[in-house]
Every structure is written in C-alpha cells, then in structure tokens.
Structure 1
Amino acid sequence: MKFSEITEKEWPGLQLYLDTCILPVTGMTGMEQPWEAGDALERLRDVLDGIEFPYKGRVVTYPALHYCEGNESGRAYIEQVCRGLRSAGFAYVVVVTAKPEIAELVLQEADLLLSVPEEALREQGREAKRIAGEKITQLWMSKK
C-alpha cells in the first residue's frame, strides 16, 4: 500500500499487518536535466513494482527521498528517516534505490538496502524484480 491510501481511522487496525516500511531513495543531486530526473524516477518505479504489488498486504511505501546523495550527509539523512519510521512503529524498514551510489552505503538503521542495477532491470526485467521480492521475504524469515 502507499502511505496515502491509509486513513488515520484505518491505521490502528492495519498496523499489525503492515509491519514493513518501504523507503524509496531516488538519490538525485539537483543538477539533473529534466529528462534525467524523469529517468531516475522511472528506474526507481521499476524497482518498486517488484515489491509493492506482490506484498501489498504487508508493506507501506512512504514518499521517496529524492535529493539525497550517496555521501556521508546523505547516509546520515537516510539513517535519521529510518529511525523515525521505526519509532513510528514499523518492525522492518527497507530502503529501495536504483542509484548505485546509494546502494553502496552502509545503513545501520535499515533492515535491508535493496537495489536492482539498471542493467539488470533492462536485461532481466521480471527476474530482477522477483529476486528483489525474494530478498524481502528472506528478511521476514530471518527475523522471526
């Protein structure tokens, strides 16, 4: 589910089942041309497609962090948001990105940093999305 599909009234009943927060990170710098920004959003959407639909009853996708570079300040910002999401009650926080610089970060506050390289999405499509979904399932199984 997307965060915008959940009302305040529904949340207490859903929170038990929707225990996993997906935090998309676009990783743009602000120096992108319009088409580059569009391409970045499309790549992130393609990665999210393999997670959001198959796990709709268990995950909540939050708004993306768009301007967050793969450096120390970007890492600190992502960590801060992950801590906040965990404080909000999510048992699992999964950071999803299509940006290689973000994928290389070491995040202590996220349970999983999931990235599908652009080449894999182009060449393997469905298989790359299936593997991404399997990593989410493995996370849930390992934390029982």
Structure 2
Amino acid sequence: MKFSELDEVQWADLQPYLDTCLLPVTGLTGSETPPEATGKVAAAGDWLYPLETAFRGRTVTQPAYHYADAANDEEIARLERYCASLRQTGYRFLIVVTGSESLAAAKLSSVDLVIGPGAQGSEPEADTIRRAVTEMWRQKA
C-alpha cells in the first residue's frame, strides 16, 4: 500500500499486518538535468514495482526520499536519521529501494535491507527481489 491510502483509523487497524516500510531513495544530487532526474526517479521505481506488487498487504511505501548523494557523508547521515525516525513509527522492517548503484551499496544501520542494482548495474529481477525480502523476514523473525 502507499502511505496515502491509509487514514488514521485504517492505520490503527492494519498496522500489525503492515509491518514493512518501503522507502524509495532516488539519489538525486541536485546537479541533474531534468532528463537525468527523471531517469533516476524511474530507476528507483523499477526496483520498487516488484516489491509493491508482490507484497501488497504487508508493506507500506513511503514518499520518495530524493536527495541523497552516496558520496556526501552529511546526506547519508541525514538519510540514516530519517530511516531511524521511520522505524520509530512502528515498522518492524525497513527496506530502502533505489536505482542507484552507489546507494545500493551504502551501509545504513537502521535499514534491514537495501534493494537496488549491484556493481554491474543489474536490472531488477522480481523473483530475486522477492526471495531477498522473504529471506530477510525469516532471518529477523
């Protein structure tokens, strides 16, 4: 589900079942041209789509976090603080989803799993992504 599909009553009723937060992180730096920014947003969406479709009913997709340059320690620290605050809202699991290779390799201590391209710029494979999430749930149960 998307965050905008829940009102306060629904959230109170469904929160025990919606235990996993999906946070799309586009990795914009602010120096992108409009087509480059569009490409980064679309890349994050490509990695997010298999999760939203496979796990609807257990996940909530938060609004995208756009500006997080993996080469900027301050921005990564801000992202980490945001992830920690999301965890405080009651999610048991937190997954960052990105189309950025450098962000996919980032170490975020508040995050259970980062889904995104590997060093070779891989494309999203729905089965591989689903297996990674179900394995995370099993290990952290």
Q: One fold, TM greater than 0.5?
A: yes
| 1:1-144 to 2 correspondences below 5 Å | 1-70=1-70, 71-117=72-118, 119-121=121-123, 128-144=125-141
CA–CA separation in structure 2 for the residues paired with 1:81 and 1:102: 15
1:116–1:132: 8 Å Cα contact kept in structure 2? Answer: no
Q: What's the offset of the Cα at 1:120?
A: 2.5
CA–CA separation in structure 2 for the residues paired with 1:79 and 1:37: 22
Where in structure 1 are there 5+ consecutive unaligned residues?
Answer: none
Q: How many residues align?
A: 139
CA–CA separation in structure 1 for the residues paired with 2:122 and 2:101: 12
CA–CA separation in structure 2 for the residues paired with 1:23 and 1:48: 9
Q: 3-state SS of the aligned residue for 1:96?
A: strand
After TM superposition, what 4+ stretches of structure 1 lie above 3 angstroms from structure 2? Answer: none
Which piece of structure 1 moves more, 110-119 or 19-28? 110-119
- What is the identity percentage for the equivalent residue pairs of Structure 1 and Structure 2? 38
Opposite residue 93 of structure 1, the aligned amino acid is L
Q: What's the offset of the Cα at 1:7?
A: 0.8
Q: What's the offset of the Cα at 1:9?
A: 1.4
Opposite residue 83 of structure 2, the aligned amino acid is C
CA–CA separation in structure 2 for the residues paired with 1:59 and 1:114: 14
2:101–2:121: 8 Å Cα contact kept in structure 1? Answer: no
1:43–1:98: 8 Å Cα contact kept in structure 2? Answer: yes
CA–CA separation in structure 1 for the residues paired with 2:132 and 2:88: 23
What TM-score does the superposition give when structure 1 sets the normalisation length? 0.91
Q: What's the offset of the Cα at 1:42?
A: 1.0
Q: What's the offset of the Cα at 1:119?
A: 4.2
CA–CA separation in structure 2 for the residues paired with 1:120 and 1:113: 14
RMSD between aligned alpha carbons? 1.4
Where in structure 2 are there 5+ consecutive unaligned residues?
Answer: none
CA–CA separation in structure 2 for the residues paired with 1:111 and 1:119: 21
What TM-score does the superposition give when structure 2 sets the normalisation length? 0.93
Opposite residue 134 of structure 2, the aligned amino acid is T
Q: What's the offset of the Cα at 1:77?
A: 1.2
Spell out, residue by residue over 1:98-136, the C-alpha distance to the aligned partner (whole angstroms, 9 max, x if none): 111211211111111111358432xxx5xx222112111
